[in-house]
C-alpha cells in the first residue's frame, strides 16, 4: 500500500511533481478523482487534504489542497519553512467533518433550460428596452459640454 515520501514546501498546495521517495504514492495522488479527500501526515501533523478540481478544459489538476486544520498548518509551514523538505505519509481513511469530507465543495446540479424558460427570459430581457435613464434636459454636444 502507499506509505511514506517527502515533499518540498513550495506552494499553498502539494503538487505531485514535488512528491519524492515513493513513485507509487505520487501516481496514486495523480490518479485520485477530483474532490477525493485523504488523510496525510506532514511532519507529524495529520489532517485532511483534497484532490484539486479538474481544469476548465477537463484535464486533471495534479495537486492536493489542504482543508480544515491542515490548511492552517500548511500555510504556517509555508510562511516559516518555505523551500524545506518535509516528511509526508498517507494515513488510512480517517473520518472528518462534513466540510472536510468535501461536501461543502460539491457544486449544485445545473438547472435544466427548457425552450419555455428561454423564451420567458428573452421576453423579460426585451421588455427592459425602454426602461433606461433618459435626460429630460437640454442635450449638449461634446464641444459645448467642454466649452470648446
Name the residue among 30, 48, 41, 46 with its Cα closest to residue 104: 48
**pLDDT of the residue at 141:** 85
Average pLDDT over residues 105-134: 79
Name beta bridge partners: 7.
19, 86
The cell for 95 is 473520518
| Residue 103 to residue 22: CA distance in whole angstroms | 30
Name the residue among 20, 3, 2, 14 with its Cα closest to residue 77: 14
The distance of Cα 72 from the centroid of its chain, to the nearest Å, equals: 16
What is the per-residue pLDDT across 12-59, written as a single tens digit (0 to 9) for each?
999 999 999 988 888 888 888 988 898 889 988 889 999 999 888 888
Model confidence at 147, pLDDT cuts 50, 70, 90, reads confident
The 3-class SS string of 81-121 reads HCCCEEEEEECCCCCCCHHHHCHHHCCCCCCCCCHHHHHHH
- pTM value is 0.61
Which region among 1-10, 45-54, 59-68, 83-92 has the lowest average model confidence (pLDDT)?
Answer: 1-10
CA distance readout (Å), 80 to 35, 40, 65, 71: 28, 20, 18, 14
Where do the domains of the chain lie? 4-105
Amino acid at each position: 500500500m502507499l506509505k511514506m515520501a517527502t515533499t518540498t514546501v513550495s506552494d499553498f498546495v502539494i503538487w505531485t511533481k514535488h512528491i519524492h521517495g515513493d513513485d507509487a504514492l505520487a501516481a496514486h495522488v495523480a490518479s485520485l478523482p477530483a474532490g477525493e479527500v485523504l488523510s496525510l501526515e506532514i511532519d507529524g501533523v495529520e489532517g485532511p487534504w483534497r484532490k484539486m478540481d479538474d481544469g476548465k478544459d477537463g484535464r486533471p489538476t495534479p495537486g492536493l489542497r489542504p482543508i480544515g486544520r491542515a490548511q492552517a498548518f500548511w500555510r504556517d509551514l509555508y510562511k516559516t519553512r518555505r523551500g524545506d523538505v518535509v516528511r509526508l505519509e498517507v494515513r488510512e481513511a480517517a473520518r472528518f467533518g462534513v466540510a472536510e469530507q468535501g461536501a461543502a465543495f460539491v457544486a449544485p446540479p445545473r438547472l435544466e433550460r427548457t425552450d419555455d424558460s428561454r423564451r420567458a427570459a428573452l421576453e423579460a430581457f426585451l421588455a427592459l428596452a425602454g426602461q433606461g435613464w433618459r435626460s429630460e434636459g437640454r442635450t449638449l454636444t461634446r464641444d459645448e459640454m467642454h466649452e470648446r
